[in-house]
């Protein structure tokens, strides 16, 4: 990104969590122009220090006073916390980029993947929502397909890694796997059922319509980001025993016929998509391929034999990056580059 005239003061809410740690990693990798850095977390973490660019930073307890003089807040905490703190941060002149679901469906709050709908950031009033991790990687792929053939319907089944449920969930997968291999008892603490050597078609709570809240997030957020409020979207969300990276089996029905070759070309032209699609040579993306990487990977692109203008695709991305930290930092970069801070900075 272009360098600004002055450094940008950044606060990270939830700095000690898995996404908070990934935010710090991404900020350093992308050389974001940080001036002052404040690391905020709950009271139990306030005596910790975290290294960033060779310097140790103390972790401070989250409180409204911590946002004074801050330009951008990267928030990775529970929605109840953010609902209270975000307006207070905005009042003090900060732009809040929120990873929770607190504001995603608020009509006055932009829900953004910059490469898909960055233009809506011009309307922000201080709070910007980062989408659900499964939605983020999905819309990156749907956007060029819509431009090419016009989306008529989307069917997605997600295969979501345990990191989407936090560090405790990752620990549970590791500990439960070890216990089973050693013929020891291990009762689930984080998940509803055993996750090691198993799949769980249950993410978040179930709603009256029979869908889980996670599934409806994908439906509603996809429509909002693509600015297609009537687009038929359906989703089945499944937790799988994988540490990092979400995978998705996606079927799209299009208004116009699009060949797999045309789809590959359109997707490959995206700056954040890598097409790995030579299945006869064993070339297709897996969660391990995507872990720690920035792109959204797409493979298994083929005609849907059950639909005249349908295509099937396999989509994989690191959920901690494209679905959280990386997307949040890209939003921050866009805000800075387009002079959209609450306290504008000439770029």
Closest CA to 324 of 92, 125, 142, 160: 160
Catalytic annotation on 261? no
Q: With both helix axes pointing from N to C terminus, report the angle between 260-268 and 133-149 in degrees, rounded to the nearest 10.
A: 120
Q: Which of 124, 146, 235, 246 is catalytic?
A: 246
Tell how many helices (H) and how many strands (E) occur in the chain: 9, 13
Catalytic annotation on 246? yes
Helix ranges, 249-325 (H): 260-268, 287-290
How far is it, in rounded angstroms, from Cα 268 to Cα 1? 22
Q: Which of 133, 146, 261, 338 is catalytic?
A: 133
Do 103 and 86 meet the contact criterion of CB atoms below 8 Å apart?
Answer: yes
Torsion sign across C-alpha atoms 309, 312, 318, 324: positive
Closest CA to 50 of 64, 60, 42, 36: 60
Q: What angle do CA 71, 30, 64 make, to 5 degrees?
A: 25
Token couple for 165: 């449920």
Catalytic (active-site) positions = 133, 246
């Amino acid at each position: 990104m272009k360098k600004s005239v002055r450094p940008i003061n950044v606060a990270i809410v939830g700095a000690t969590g898995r996404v908070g740690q990934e935010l710090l990693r991404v900020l350093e990798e992308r050389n974001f122009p940080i001036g002052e850095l404040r690391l905020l977390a709950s009271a139990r973490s306030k005596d910790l220090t975290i290294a960033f660019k060779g310097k140790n930073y103390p972790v401070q307890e989250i409180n409204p006073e911590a946002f004074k003089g801050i330009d951008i807040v990267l928030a990775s905490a529970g929605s109840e916390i953010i609902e209270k703190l975000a307006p207070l941060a905005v009042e003090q002149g900060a732009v809040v980029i929120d990873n929770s679901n607190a504001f995603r469906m608020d009509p006055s709050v932009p829900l953004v993947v910059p490469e898909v709908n960055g233009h809506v950031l011009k309307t922000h009033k201080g709070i910007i929502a980062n989408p659900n991790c499964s939605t983020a990687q999905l819309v990156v792929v749907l956007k060029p397909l819509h431009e090419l053939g016009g989306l008529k319907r989307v069917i997605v089944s997600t295969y979501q890694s345990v990191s989407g449920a936090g560090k405790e969930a990752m620990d549970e997968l590791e500990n439960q796997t070890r216990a089973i291999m050693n013929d020891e008892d291990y009762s689930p603490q984080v998940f509803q059922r055993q996750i090691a050597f198993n799949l769980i078609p249950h993410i978040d709570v179930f709603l009256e319509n029979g869908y889980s809240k996670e599934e409806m997030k994908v439906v509603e957020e996809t429509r909002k980001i693509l600015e297609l409020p009537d687009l038929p979207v359906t989703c089945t969300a499944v937790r799988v025993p994988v540490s990092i990276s979400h995978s998705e089996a996606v079927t799209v029905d299009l208004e116009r016929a699009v060949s797999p070759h045309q789809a590959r070309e359109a997707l490959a032209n995206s700056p954040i998509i890598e097409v790995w699609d030579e299945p006869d040579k064993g070339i297709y993306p897996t969660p391990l391929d995507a872990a720690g990487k920035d792109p959204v990977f797409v493979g298994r692109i083929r005609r849907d034999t059950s639909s005249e203008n349908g295509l099937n695709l396999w989509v994989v991305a690191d959920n901690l990056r494209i679905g959280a930290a990386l997307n949040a930092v890209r939003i921050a970069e866009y805000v800075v580059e387009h002079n959209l801070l609450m306290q504008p900075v000439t770029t």
